[in-house]
Homo-oligomer: A and B are copies of this chain.
Amino acid sequence: MSEPLPDDLWPDVKPDAARRLMAAAIDSFATRGYHATTTRDIANAAGMSPAALYVHFPSKAAVLSAISRSGHEQALAMIHGVVVSTKDPVEAIGLLTQKFVAWHAKRHRVARVVQYELNALPEEDYRAIADLRRRTEQLVRDVIGDGVRSGAFEVTDARTAARAVLSLGVDVARWYTDGGKPSPGMLGRQYADLVLRMLGAKMP
């Protein structure tokens, strides 16, 4: 059940105990659901006492917020990084689809918490994360809009198209399983092809 804790998952979270608690929370939420998980469950799964959990997080909701915020910030940073790396909308959409899809496959257990537990977030955290999501979607919509203006894409509604691109990636977290086929990288490339066709890009 337990996902090994890769170094690149939460590089900005310190100390290591906080990251261990976040990883334990992901296992507990996957097993029992968020609502039925207690802080004791999370602490136990991390091999720590409930008191030790409270040193790092004031509540179960705070652990969820940390996981959700980190996931959304990473997604936004990744897409922003792609968008500023090239002026070619076709290259940008291909690359960001590849990376977004591969992340949701490789980190499907984390991604399920990031994507499916928004309603359990405290209101202030929810607003902050809704803002990250809007900015992420806007970046994708802007690239699609650029491509439509330059004639690289043929799309009737850039908003629906942007949503569909991200939606395809998010839903990978629902159905992807450990050791799944195709590999995260291959799935990312296949989906990038499908997405570029969907946007009416001239395929080579």
Contact = CB atoms under 8 A, between A and B. Distances in A.
Interface string A133-156: 000000000000000000000001
Contacts of A156: 190, 193
A57 interface: no
Contacts of A33: 33-36, 120
Contacts of A35: 32-33, 35-36
Contact of A116 (B160, B174, B187): B174
Contacts of A187: 160
Q: How many copies does the complex hold?
A: 2
Contacts of A199: 197
A190 B161 CA distance: 9
A8 interface: no
A200 B198 contact: no
Nearest to A197: B198
Interface residues of A, number: 32
A34 B34 CA distance: 10
Contacts of A163: 175
Contact of A157 (B157, B190, B200): B190
A197 B200 contact: yes
Given A33-B120, A156-B190, A167-B167, 4 more contacts: A163-B175, A164-B194, A197-B198, A197-B199
Interface of A: 32-36, 115-116, 120, 156-157, 160-161, 163-164, 167-168, 170-172, 174-175, 182, 187, 190-191, 193-195, 197-200
